[in-house]
Chains A and B, each alone.
Chain A
Amino acid sequence: MSEEFKIEIVNPEKSFLVKDDVLEVVVPAFEGEMGILKDHISIISFLKPGIIKISSKSGDENYYVEDGIVEFKNNNLSILTSSIFNLLDLDKSKKDDLLKLAEEEASNSEINDQSKYLIDQKIEVIRSLN
């Protein structure tokens, strides 16, 4: 029996990635990292900033996301996100840009605790990439 399932990552502009030979995906869900294997129960959750790790037959891939929603149903994993980058494409200057943006957001004092938490998380993740 095959252990593969399908993943689809879409962002508002286009369908970002479609793969159907995925073995395992680790997503940074809001309440902690979550590994998804085939025949996982149907689930909806949302993401905090972090790394999506996809391991498939054709190799492993890592993506950096800032937010998004995951839905898993009938061995179809959909991830909706407005900001996603392949780690391979993320060079130093790009990281610095993201970090600067996040730090600017963090310096805004009028944000609530939840978004503050998310931004701190974001900064931490970007720093750890460098």
Chain B
Amino acid sequence: MASLDDLKKRIASVKSTQKITKAMKMVAAAKLRRAQESAEKGRPYSEKMNNIILNLSNGISDKENAPKLLSGTSQEKTHLCVVMTSDRGLCGGFNSNIIKKAKSYFAKILDEGKEIKIITVGSKGNDQLKRIYGDKIIENISFKESKNANYFDADKVGKMVIQKFEAGEFDVCTIFYNQFKNVITQIPQVQQIIPLNNEGEESSSEESYEFEPDEEEILSNLLPKNISTQIFKAMLENSASEQGSRMSAMDNATRNAGEMVDKLTIEYNRSRQAAITKELIEIISGAESL
């Protein structure tokens, strides 16, 4: 059994850990509110963008000559996967969930005899993936410097993806991110962004539009923007999810630390009493023997 002094030290250390996790939880809660807000504020843009593209692609008469970003390269040999994770740890299963999803997707693609290329956004994803898929990672981007998800960063990733697409480096592009449902639930998502997969979605209006310049030109201008927008949406969802996940993880950690402190305190008190009893017995039996 640990000595009284050891127990005292352990209680103190658990208590200070608890203080840290509690503070982290508070910070995450504050950040979560902001992240959630900006995720909600960002929604109209991507929704409107989606709507316009839907209207446009329905209006296109000549499907054969549609931009490649929309219709694909007519083959599916090389897949580019953009795995979006956080730059910081201590956020529960947040990163592992994305990685797990991504790994099972990679295995499926490789089984089909196709090639994959990986871009990791966020250093945690890179850390976990480079052990197995190190040779497949072509780029690693991290936005440690920027405080919040901003469109400028997303645009950088988007431009890079498009540049690679135009150079013919891949045929299909998918992004992996966590969708924020609520504080305790984040759903890992796999979303294909090239070619744009919006079959089955019905256009909201039957109305015909006037286009200036013509549909094809607008589309070819709009589609690259849409890529950045989708990536930005994923980044916003991701940052809200990260904070939510961290908050619940830290909440759990704080509670566990509390339980541990209670348990250790009981043990400490018991052994203190035992020591006192032992001493008393010694004194009494010493006195009796006289």
In the assembled complex, the CB of A110 is this many whole angstroms from the nearest CB of chain B, namely 11
Say whether B271 faces chain A, with CB atoms less than 8 Å apart.
no
* A44 surroundings in chain B (CB, below 8 A): 52, 55-56, 209-212, 218
B48 contacts A43, C-beta separation under 8 Å: no
Q: With contacts A42-B210, A43-B210, A78-B48 known, is A12 near B232, CB below 8 A?
A: yes
A42 contacts B151, C-beta separation under 8 Å: no
* A42 surroundings in chain B (CB, below 8 A): 207-210
* A82 surroundings in chain B (CB, below 8 A): 151, 155, 225, 228
* A34 surroundings in chain B (CB, below 8 A): 212
Main secondary structure of the interface of A (DSSP, over half): strand
B211 contacts A11, C-beta separation under 8 Å: no
* B211 surroundings in chain A (CB, below 8 A): 43-45
Interface residues on B, range: 20 to 34
In the assembled complex, the CB of A41 is this many whole angstroms from the nearest CB of chain B, namely 5
Main secondary structure of the interface of B (DSSP, over half): helix
Say whether B150 faces chain A, with CB atoms less than 8 Å apart.
yes
B45 contacts A80, C-beta separation under 8 Å: yes
Q: From the candidates B45, B207, B218, B221, name the one contacting A12 in the complex (CB within 8 A).
A: B45
In Å, the complex CA distance between A5 and B150 comes to: 31
* B48 surroundings in chain A (CB, below 8 A): 10, 71, 78, 80
> What per-residue 1/0 map shows which CB atoms of A1-41 lie under 8 Å from chain B?
00000001011111100000000000001110010000001
* B154 surroundings in chain A (CB, below 8 A): 12
* A45 surroundings in chain B (CB, below 8 A): 211-213, 218
- How many residues belonging to A are interface residues under a CB distance threshold of 8 Å? 24
* B150 surroundings in chain A (CB, below 8 A): 13
* B52 surroundings in chain A (CB, below 8 A): 44, 69, 71, 80
Say whether A73 faces chain B, with CB atoms less than 8 Å apart.
yes
A13 contacts B213, C-beta separation under 8 Å: no
Q: From the candidates B38, B205, B213, B225, name the one contacting A30 in the complex (CB within 8 A).
A: B213
Closest to A34 in B: B212
* B213 surroundings in chain A (CB, below 8 A): 30-31, 45
A12 contacts B229, C-beta separation under 8 Å: yes
> What per-residue 1/0 map shows which CB atoms of B29-64 lie under 8 Å from chain A?
000000000100110111011001001100000000
Most central of B213, B222, B225 by chain A CB within 10 Å: B225
Q: With contacts A12-B232, A13-B42, A14-B42 known, is A46 near B208, CB below 8 A?
A: no
In the assembled complex, the CB of B207 is this many whole angstroms from the nearest CB of chain A, namely 6
- Residues of B at the A interface (CB closer than 8 Å) are 38, 41-42, 44-46, 48-49, 52, 55-56, 150-151, 154-155, 205, 207-213, 218, 221-222, 225, 228-229, 232
Q: A10-B48, A12-B229 are in contact. List 7 more A-B contacts (CB 8 A).
A: A10-B44, A12-B232, A30-B213, A44-B56, A71-B52, A80-B45, A82-B228
Q: List 7 A–B pairs whose Cβ atoms lie within 8 Å, in order of A's numbering.
A: A12-B151, A13-B38, A42-B208, A43-B211, A44-B211, A44-B212, A80-B52
- Residues of A at the B interface (CB closer than 8 Å) are 8, 10-15, 29-31, 34, 41-46, 67, 69, 71, 73, 78, 80, 82
